[in-house]
Chains A and B, each alone.
Chain A
Amino acid sequence: MSDDKRKKEEMTAIQSSEVRPGAVPPNASISRKLRDFYDAVQEEGIPDRFLDLLERLEQAEKNAKPVNAK
């Protein structure tokens, strides 16, 4: 868990090192449009069909796992 967190922080560090603080990054308007487009889809959330699917997968796994397969 803490490893995960550290990794995430490193990732952020790598990415932010590409853009110097205080400097307007080149291609900013393209980058902004790209994120706007992407975020618009992300903000739609998770369609019910995927929640149902995961529910069914989980249920099927519970039913089919009398013996520990691992």
Chain B
Amino acid sequence: MSKEDEIDDRGFKRDLLASLPNLRAFAVSLTGRHDKADDLVQDTIMKAWANQTSFTAGTNMRAWLFTILRNEFYSQMRKRGREVQDSDGLFSERFSVHPEQYGRLDLQDFRKALDKLPDDQREAIILVGAAGFAYEEAAAICGCAVGTIKSRVSRARTRLQELLGVSGEGDYGPDAGDAAITSRAFGS
């Protein structure tokens, strides 16, 4: 092995590690639970490691990893069939594992609302709104057109607003202004 390869290998592991917390948050968002998410992340790490020669150095490793994880998620879902979704049940389990992180009722309600979105809308709003990808990158990860991602994100936002009752009524304290603007934007 040449010196150069060694350096590349170390860089690969370092970049992979740096992406892991974000990748794992994406996995939790997709699966709705920590145990499944971590299994999914583990499968993704093994796949990524085995295919590291197919990763082009200098390109976006985070996007590459997200693509692998997403493909893995959907192929496992196809194999196993969609399991019965029980947001409340899933959530109480999550509470027993990570009570400190999910102590806020706000996040609990949000999690439930997120679980109610169709898969394509959920992944779109997570990639763009939370994971920090541009629309173009999210489109590449999901293998669809940029316009499709934009419309999924927009539909996801509308649906979340409905589910969470964000209506600009002023019951959101500091968010009241935001909500008012939101309802104006969607009112036309």
Contact = CB atoms under 8 A, between A and B. Distances in A.
A67 to B, nearest CB: 9
Interface residues of A, number: 41
Interface of A: 1, 3-4, 7, 11, 14-15, 24, 26-47, 49-51, 53-54, 57-58, 61, 65, 68, 70
B24 A43 contact: no
Contacts, number: 129
Majority secondary structure, B binding face: helix
Q: 9 nearest interchain CB pairs? A: A38-B130, A28-B178, A29-B175, A41-B25, A26-B185, A42-B21, A14-B134, A33-B110, A29-B178
Contacts of B25: 38-39, 41-42
Given A36-B107, A44-B98, A50-B42, A29 B166 contact: yes
Interface string B10-29: 00010011001110110011
A58 B172 CA distance: 50
Nearest to A38: B130
24 contacts: A24-B178, A26-B178, A27-B161, A28-B181, A29-B178, A30-B160, A34-B114, A34-B125, A34-B160, A37-B29, A37-B130, A38-B25, A39-B25, A40-B102, A41-B25, A41-B101, A46-B21, A49-B38, A54-B13, A54-B45, A54-B49, A58-B13, A65-B1, A70-B5
Given A35-B130, A41-B24, A68-B2, A26 B125 contact: no
A4 B13 contact: no
A41 B178 contact: no
Interface of B: 1-2, 5, 9, 13, 16-17, 20-22, 24-25, 28-29, 38, 41-42, 45-46, 49, 53, 58, 60, 98, 101-102, 104, 106-107, 110-111, 114, 125-126, 129-137, 157, 160-161, 164, 166, 172, 175, 177-179, 181-182, 185-186
Nearest to B176: A29
Given A11-B134, A50-B45, A30 B60 contact: no
Given A24-B177, A57-B46, A35 B129 contact: yes
A34 B110 contact: yes
A68 B5 CA distance: 9
B182 A7 contact: no
